[in-house]
């Protein structure tokens, strides 16, 4: 695993202290079945150095502002989170970017906040949860938001939320339900023609698109049967999404993603801090062993540079960490490579 900071991570989260306090006040101490992790800019930078990440475009994970049922409170929280993210980017302009939080399912307020974040705060895009209180992206009544985003050629980072149904005992939502949630949103965005009507929006699907690459032909046949469209046209719409590799660059998932996605449409993602450091290292090893050097370089950096032109310059220089820190990180990388090799099928 290279220690040089060169990667652009499009799937990294923040958990500011004020946000954690508001969640705790609402009785929320976990997201997707995982305890809310500790977060600070310093710990984020340390993890980025470990994974060789030059720049992370950060976002707020589920539940976003959706736990607040009063629209004014949700809008105020979105503004506060976006101001915080913009400040973080200003303090570390070469290390962080940010996707803005929107107060969905209020599409009018979300359109207004999207315009503010993109036009005034310099956000690199916006985050939208796949479903908001059971209403999925692609449902009726969202055109005001899509118009606002399309006019700005915005990048939309689609992140899963918990399914609008009870969780199944023994299956934490992040392990399986999140993948279905993203898949449902992608299906409706294509089925209901959103990606065709608003072609200048660039959608990034978390976690390799959930089940989209694997089930794409099955989904295309279903959508074609339902709408009368050609299955080939539907497949082209599905391939028009961008996909990140967070928790997905395994020897099983990565080949499917690379076989399906358009060239230039796969981006590096870590899902830190919800995915702990060991998981991030595991899947980085999967990427480094599962793709040829050219493909790997594109996923690590150049595909994101094309999507986010402001990141088109040279990566930030390596931070001058103390020798003890560098040695510790080197040992962790070596240990992660060994563990990755040991747990692959057929190695025992």
Residue 346: band (very low, low, confident or very high) from pLDDT cuts 50, 70, 90: low
Return mean pLDDT, the chain.
92
The one-character DSSP state at 276 is: -
Supply the pLDDT for residue 325: 57
DSSP run (H or E) holding 307? helix 303-307
Identify the pLDDT of residue 313: 73
Q: How many Å from the N-terminal Cα to the C-terminal Cα in the chain?
A: 23
- Average confidence (pLDDT) over 270-299: 95
Q: Tell whether the model's pLDDT for residue 17 goes beyond 70.
A: yes
Asked whether the bond before 172 is cis by omega within 30 degrees of 0, the reply is no
pLDDT in tens, 2-12: 456 899 999 99
pTM: 0.91
Q: Is the pLDDT of residue 74 over 90?
A: yes
The per-residue pLDDT for 348 is 47
pLDDT of residue 312: 85
- Per the rule left: phi > 0, alpha: psi between -120 and 50, beta: everything else, 203 is beta
Q: Is the pLDDT of residue 343 over 80?
A: no
**Overall average pLDDT of the 117-135 stretch:** 98
Task: Kindly tell me if the per-residue pLDDT of 112 is higher than 90.
Answer: yes
pLDDT at 1: 42
Among residues of the chain, what percentage have pLDDT more than 70? 89
pLDDT score, position 342: 54
Q: How far is CA 221 from CA 33, 178, 194, 259, in A?
A: 33, 23, 18, 19
- For residue range 203-236, what is the model confidence (pLDDT) as tens digits? 999 999 999 999 999 999 999 999 999 999 999 9
81 class by beta-carbon count within 10 Å (0-12 exposed, 13-18 middle, 19+ buried): buried
pLDDT digits (tens, 9 = 90+) for 250-266: 999 999 999 999 999 99
For residue 320, the model assigns a pLDDT of 60
**Which ranges constitute the DSSP H helices of the chain?**
17-25, 41-51, 71-91, 107-119, 143-151, 177-191, 194-197, 212-227, 231-239, 253-260, 277-290, 293-297, 303-307, 323-342
pLDDT of residue 71 exceeding 80: yes
């Amino acid at each position: 695993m290279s220690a040089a900071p060169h990667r652009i991570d499009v799937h990294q989260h923040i958990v500011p202290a004020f946000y954690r306090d508001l969640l705790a006040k609402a009785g929320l101490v976990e997201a997707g079945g995982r305890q809310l992790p500790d977060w600070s800019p310093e710990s984020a930078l340390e993890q980025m150095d470990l994974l060789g990440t030059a720049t992370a475009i950060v976002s707020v994970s589920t539940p976003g502002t959706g736990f607040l049922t009063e629209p004014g409170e949700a809008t105020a929280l979105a503004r506060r989170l976006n101001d915080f993210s913009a400040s973080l980017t200003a303090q570390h302009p070469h290390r962080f970017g940010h996707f803005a939080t929107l107060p969905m399912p209020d599409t009018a307020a979300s359109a207004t906040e999207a315009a503010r974040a993109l036009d005034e705060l310099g956000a690199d895009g916006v985050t939208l949860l796949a479903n908001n209180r059971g209403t999925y992206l692609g449902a009726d009544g969202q055109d005001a938001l899509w118009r606002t985003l399309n006019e700005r050629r915005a990048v939309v980072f689609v992140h899963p939320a918990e399914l609008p149904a009870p969780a199944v005992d023994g299956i934490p939502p992040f392990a399986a339900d999140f993948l279905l949630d993203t898949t449902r949103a992608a299906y409706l965005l294509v089925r209901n023609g959103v990606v065709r009507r608003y072609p200048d929006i660039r959608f990034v699907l978390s976690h390799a698109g959930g089940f989209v690459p694997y089930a794409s032909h099955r989904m295309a046949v279903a959508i074609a049967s339902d709408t009368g469209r050609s299955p080939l046209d539907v497949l082209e719409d599905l391939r028009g999404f961008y996909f990140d590799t967070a928790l997905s660059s395994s020897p099983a998932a990565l080949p499917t993603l690379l076989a399906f996605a358009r060239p230039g449409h796969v981006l590096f993602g870590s899902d830190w801090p919800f995915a702990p450091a060991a998981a991030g290292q595991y899947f980085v090893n999967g990427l480094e062993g599962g793709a040829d050097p050219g493909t790997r370089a594109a996923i690590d950096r150049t595909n994101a540079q094309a999507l986010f032109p402001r990141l088109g310059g040279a990566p930030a220089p390596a931070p001058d960490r103390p020798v003890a820190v560098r040695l510790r990180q080197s040992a962790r990388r070596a240990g992660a490579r060994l563990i990755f090799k040991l747990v692959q099928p057929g190695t025992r």
